[in-house]
Amino acid sequence: MASNDAPLFKVEDLHVSVEDTEILKGVDLVVNHGEVHALMGPNGSGKSTLANSIMGHPRYKVTKGKVLFNGTNILSLTPDKRAQLGLFLAFQYPVGIPGVVMGNFMRAAMKARRGEDVPVREFRKLLDETLDLLKMDPSFVRRYVNEGFSGGEKKRAEVLQMAMLKPEMAVLDETDSGLDIDALKIVAEGINALRGPDLGVLVITHYQRILDHITPDKVHILFDGRIVKTGGPELVHELEERGYDWITNVEGTDASDAGAEAVGAGVGAGKEKA
């Protein structure tokens, strides 16, 4: 699906401000087709800002940098255009949409994603299979989007939407938060079922536990608006044992802009501020 040899998804020196406070201070990241990356970091490191900026939330102002999707900079596109291209964001806090029924919502979204109406039978079949995969009750389709859903239902609904919209690149913003272990397993299984050579995934999480179920190809650690460390899955366990203080201290011992250096061997290695 990739056009020429551009990576599926590339974030380049991304700087983002919220109400004049700079939150992201130069993030670099590359996710190729078929890869699952984990982005970990303590509270306030800028994880959700990254997720929202990628999707184009109007509150987050990109002051510098690029987000390339199949080689095209998508930063000037509205969120719906980004989604139509095949970008997906699973929200940390999905909002309730009173009066809009899940089934109608999904049909409108699929129509937008495909650029044409989805035949009813095909829609129904896909929906039934996905509900089954995520162990969700069929009545769910007749409920208002996210309204009165439990925490677990909301997260499953996000994965359901991802499964139906078949994105090329999915960003999962703390999809594990607020889930008990059973719900976490179902959600992780759902995501694993969607893994494949055409899909890139960025799993954003504070905790390692979802990564016990979804093994990432690469792990990045975000701290104070920069990716300060990148490694393989073993980084998750290192972090588990040593905690975020370890990273904080690495950062603390270096000079103020040491973040970029700490990335070192990681994906961000190409970034060298002149």
Partner 1 sequence: MTETATAPASLDRDAVEALAARFGDPEWLLKRRLEAWRLFEEAPMPDALSEEWRRTDVSKISLDGLAPFAPARKAIEGVGGLPPELAAFLDENEELAGRIVQHDSDVVYETLSQDLAAKGVIAASLQTAAREHEEIVRESLFTAVTPAEWKFLGLHGALWSGGCLVYVPKGVEVELPIEYVVGLTAERTGIFPHLLIVAEANSSVTVIQEDISSEIAGFVSGAVEVIAREGSNVRFVDVQRLGKQVQNFTTMRALLSKDASFQGILLGLGGELTKTRLDVRMDGEGSETELLGLFFGDDDQHFSYYTRQDHVAPRTESDLLFKSVLDDSASFIWNGVVEVRKGAGESAANQTNRNLLLSDKASASPTPILEISAYDVARCSHAATVGPVDDELIFYMQSRGIPANEAQEMLVDGFFSEVLDRVPSERVQDRVRAVLDTKLGR
Which segments of the chain are extended strands (E)? 9-18, 21-31, 36-40, 61-69, 72-73, 87-90, 169-173, 200-205, 218-223, 226-231
Based on the shown chain and the rule CB under 8 A, indicate whether residue 117 belongs to the binding site for partner 1: no
Among 15, 33, 42, 57, binds partner 1 (CB under 8 A): 57
Looking at the Cβ atoms of 58 and 252, the one nearer to partner 1 is 58
Among 80, 117, 128, 261, binds partner 1 (CB under 8 A): 80
Among 1, 95, 193, 265, binds partner 1 (CB under 8 A): 95
Tell me how far apart the alpha carbons of residues 23 and 17 are, in angstroms, rounded to a whole number.
5
Stretch that binds partner 1, among 22-30, 36-44, 97-105, 205-213 (CB under 8 A): 97-105
Other Cβ atoms within 10 Å of 91 Cβ, number: 21
Based on the shown chain and the rule CB under 8 A, indicate whether residue 105 belongs to the binding site for partner 1: yes
Question: Smallest distance from the beta carbon of 113 to partner 1, in angstroms?
Answer: 5
Question: Smallest distance from the beta carbon of 89 to partner 1, in angstroms?
Answer: 5
Q: How far is CA 30 from the centre of its chain?
A: 13
Instruction: Report 165-184 residues binding partner 1 (CB under 8 A).
Output: 165
Among 109, 126, 250, 258, binds partner 1 (CB under 8 A): 109
Based on the shown chain and the rule CB under 8 A, indicate whether residue 79 belongs to the binding site for partner 1: yes
Q: Which two tokens stand for residue 116?
A: 């044409």
Tell me how far apart the alpha carbons of residues 51 and 38 are, in angstroms, rounded to a whole number.
12
Q: Which two tokens stand for residue 180?
A: 């008990």
Based on the shown chain and the rule CB under 8 A, indicate whether residue 112 belongs to the binding site for partner 1: yes
| Secondary structure (DSSP) of 81-134 | HHHHHTEEEE-SSPPP-TT-BHHHHHHHHHHHHHTSPPPHHHHHHHHHHHHHHT
Based on the shown chain and the rule CB under 8 A, indicate whether residue 134 belongs to the binding site for partner 1: no
Residues lying near partner 1 in the complex (CB under 8 A) are found at 55-58, 78-80, 82-84, 88-89, 91, 94-95, 97-100, 104-105, 108-109, 112-113, 144, 161, 165
